[in-house]
């Protein structure tokens, strides 16, 4: 057992999978020599050489496009987009090719690749560095989208993503890269894609969160039981295909739902989850399924970012609001 941060768990997983499978290659901007902007790929080039871990040009379309070619031809590329806000030049490659290749070739070819990207706010970053764009991927058939909230899930989900036969978008909440540590098993393990995790059982209200907001929600619900509110907390972990049964079964038990996400409100993941609950658990509802989200604005620059960020206090207040309905 070793203690890891989210970041070091990702680095360790890349080491393990590259060692285990020669077809795994890792590249992106500053990924090889520097070991990535956050050092997630640190040491890989030294260990596996420049053919398997290398710097790419500053060109997301080229990074993803070339990775698709590699994947179709037998490699397993794990590419890094420096920040999720910079993925748009490569978005066409993701949507038009990576997501469709299996369908286009009627199953003859698949695209086993992973696109890693740090995402999310709360670090007083520059423009284009703080967005939460999971919906843009989750809305595209053919893509899997995962977001870990702990070192354990980072390792388990990345292992599953690398071994998955289809393209997986692996979004890393950078705010918690080094915010805490966790003991992980030494041997390889996987967290299944598509399976949520109930972090706390409860009877009164189901709260669904993912990424950095899982920790904020855990802070928010501390002490709520003393006030007579027993929260069931679900870490979604996979945004698409997401675990509908876990949420629906929980809401059938609690009768209330709050979805917490940093992505902006309109057409966000919360809208999808709430619609699903209306389809599957409408007759069990004690209160309107509710979402607490980022507002429909560009993430502000550092001075105003706190207006955008979802704090434990806001989560707590929203839980009480739903309970009081």
> Looking at 23, 66, 110, 198, which residue binds other proteins (CB under 8 A)?
198
Tell me whether residue 129 is one of the annotated catalytic residues. yes
Backbone angles phi, psi at 158, to 5 degrees: -70, -35
Stretch that binds other proteins, among 33-41, 59-67, 72-80, 265-273 (CB under 8 A): 33-41
Is 7 a binder of other proteins (CB under 8 A)?
yes
Stretch that binds other proteins, among 61-69, 116-124, 139-147, 267-275 (CB under 8 A): 116-124
Is 19 a binder of other proteins (CB under 8 A)?
no
> Looking at 131, 153, 166, 243, which residue binds other proteins (CB under 8 A)?
153
Is 116 a binder of other proteins (CB under 8 A)?
no
At 199, is the secondary structure helix, strand, or coil?
A: strand
Cα–Cα distance measured from residue 192 to residue 283, given in angstroms and rounded to the nearest whole number: 30
Measure CA 220 to chain center. Answer: 21
Q: For residue 3, with 0-12 CB atoms within 10 Å meaning exposed, 13-18 middle and 19 or more buried, which class applies?
A: exposed
Write down the residue that tokens 């609950």 correspond to: 277
Is 181 a binder of other proteins (CB under 8 A)?
yes
Nearer to other proteins, 63 or 71 (CB): 63
Cβ contacts of residue 201 below 8 Å, gap of 6+? 232
Segment 39 to 78, residues that bind other proteins, using CB under 8 A: 39, 42-43
CB 126 within 8 A of CB 302: no
**Active-site choice (129, 261, 306, 307):** 129
Report the first-to-last Cα separation within the chain, whole angstroms.
46
Is 255 a binder of other proteins (CB under 8 A)?
yes
Write down the residue that tokens 């902007």 correspond to: 37
**# residues contacting other proteins (CB under 8 A):** 60
CB of 213 to other proteins, least distance (A): 14
Q: Is the dihedral of CA 6, 7, 12, 15 positive or negative?
A: positive
> Looking at 180, 223, 227, 296, which residue binds other proteins (CB under 8 A)?
180
> Per-residue contact track with other proteins, 271 to 290, x per CB under 8 A?
-----------xxxxx-x--
Per-residue burial over 197-224, b if 16 or more Cβ lie within 10 Å, else e, is bbbeebebbbbbbbbbbbbbbbebbeeb
Binding site for other proteins (CB under 8 A): 2-5, 7-8, 11-12, 15, 30, 34, 36-39, 42-43, 82-83, 118, 123-126, 129, 150, 152-153, 156, 174-184, 189, 191, 197-198, 201, 249, 252-253, 255, 282-286, 288, 302-306
């Amino acid at each position: 057992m070793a203690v890891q941060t989210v970041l070091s768990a990702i680095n360790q997983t890349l080491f393990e999978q590259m060692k285990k499978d020669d077809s795994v290659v890792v590249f992106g901007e500053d990924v090889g020599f520097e070991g990535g902007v956050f050092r997630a790929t640190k040491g890989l080039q030294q260990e596996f050489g420049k053919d398997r871990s290398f710097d790419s040009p500053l060109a997301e379309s080229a990074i993803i496009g070339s990775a698709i070619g590699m994947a179709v031809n037998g490699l397993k590329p794990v590419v890094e987009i420096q920040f999720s806000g910079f993925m748009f030049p490569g978005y066409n490659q993701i949507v038009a090719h990576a997501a469709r290749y299996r369908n286009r070739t009627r199953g003859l070819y698949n695209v086993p690749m992973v696109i890693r990207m740090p995402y999310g706010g709360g670090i007083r970053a520059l423009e284009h560095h703080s967005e939460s764009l999971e919906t843009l991927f989750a809305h595209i058939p053919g893509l899997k989208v995962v977001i870990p909230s702990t070192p354990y899930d980072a390792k388990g989900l990345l292992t599953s993503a690398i071994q998955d036969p289809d393209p997986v978008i692996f979004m890393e909440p950078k705010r918690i890269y080094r915010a805490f540590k966790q003991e992980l098993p030494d041997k390889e393990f996987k967290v299944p894609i598509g399976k949520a995790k109930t972090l706390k059982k409860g009877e009164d209200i189901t709260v669904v969160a993912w990424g950095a907001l899982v920790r904020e929600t855990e802070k928010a619900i501390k002490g709520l039981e003393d006030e007579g509110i027993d929260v069931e907390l679900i870490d979604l972990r996979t945004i698409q295909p997401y675990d509908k049964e876990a949420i629906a079964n929980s809401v059938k038990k609690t009768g209330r739902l709050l979805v917490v996400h940093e992505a902006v409100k309109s057409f966000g993941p919360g809208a999808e989850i709430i619609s699903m609950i209306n389809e599957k658990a409408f007759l069990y509802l004690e209160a309107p399924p509710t979402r607490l989200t980022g507002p429909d604005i560009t993430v502000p620059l550092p001075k105003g970012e706190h207006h955008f960020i979802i704090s434990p206090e806001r989560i707590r207040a929203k839980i009480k609001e739903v309970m009081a309905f």
